Amino acid sequence: MKILVLGSGAREHAIVTSLLSEEADHRIVVAPGNAGIAAEAAVEPGLDPLDGEAVTEYAIENGIELVVIGPEAPLVAGVADPLRTRGIPVFGPGKVAAQLEGSKTFAKRIMDAAGVPTGRAVRASTLAEAESALDTFGAPYVVKADGLAAGKGVLVTSDREAAVAHATHWLGHGGVLIEEFLDGQEVSLFLVSDGHNVLPLSPAQDYKRLLDGDGGPNTGGMGAYSPLPWLPENFVDEVIDTVALPTVRQLAKEQTPFIGLLYCGLIMTSRGIRVIEFNARFGDPETQVVLPRLVTPLSSLLFAAATGALAGVPRPEFALDTAVTVVLASEGYPEAPQTGRPITGLDEAARVPEVTIAHAATARDEETGALLATGGRVLSVVARGTTFAEARARAYEAVALIELPGSHFRTDIAARVAD
Ligand code: AMP
Ligand code: GLY
**Which residue numbers in the chain have pLDDT < 50?**
none
195 CB contacts (<8 Å, ≥6 apart)?
248, 251, 252, 257, 258, 259, 308
Neighbouring residues of 214: CB distance < 8 A, sequence distance ≥ 6: 207
Please name the residue whose Cα sits nearest to atom 5 of ligand 2: 283
Instruction: With H, G, I as helix, E, B as strand and everything else as coil, classify residue 122.
Output: strand
Contact 287 CB / ligand 2 (< 6 Å): no
Q: DSSP 3-state assignment of 200?
A: strand
Question: What pLDDT is stored for residue 133 in this prediction?
Answer: 87
Separation of alpha carbons 40 and 197, rounded Å: 32
Q: Atom 3 in ligand 2: which residue has the minimum CA distance?
A: 283
CA of 324 to the centre of ligand 1 (A): 22
Q: Which residues contact 193 (CB under 8 A, 6 or more apart)?
A: 244, 248, 258, 259, 260, 261, 262, 305, 310
Query: What per-residue confidence (pLDDT) applies to 152?
Result: 67
| pLDDT for res 153 | 81
183 CA → ligand 1 middle, Å: 10
**Smallest-distance ligand from the CA of 290:** 2
pLDDT value, residue 148: 72
Which pLDDT tens digit goes with each residue over 18-39? 999 998 889 999 999 999 999 9
Cα 283 to averaged position of ligand 2 atoms, centre (Å): 4
> pTM of the prediction?
0.95
C-alpha 42: how far from its chain's center? 23
Buried b (16+ CB within 10 A) or exposed e, 8-32: bbbbbbbbbbbbeeeeeebebbbbb
Cβ of 283 closer than 6 Å to ligand 2, yes or no, is yes
Distance CA 120, CA 179 (A): 6
Using one digit for the tens of pLDDT, what is the confidence trace for 355-370? 999 999 999 998 999 9
- Distance (angstroms) between ligand 1 centre and the Cα of 129 equals 21
Length of the chain: 419
Looking at residue 172, its pLDDT comes to 75
| 263-266 own/partner pairs: CB under 8 Å, 24+ apart | 263/101, 263/188, 263/189, 263/190, 264/187, 264/188, 264/189, 264/190, 264/191, 264/239, 265/186, 265/188, 266/186, 266/187, 266/188, 266/189, 266/239
Burial (CB count within 10 angstroms: exposed 0-12, middle 13-18, buried 19+), residue 286: buried
Cβ of 286 closer than 6 Å to ligand 2, yes or no, is yes
Q: Which residues line ligand 1 (CB under 6 A)?
A: 119, 142, 153-154, 156, 179, 181-182, 186, 208, 218, 265, 276-277
Ligand 2 neighbourhood includes 101 CB (under 6 angstroms): no
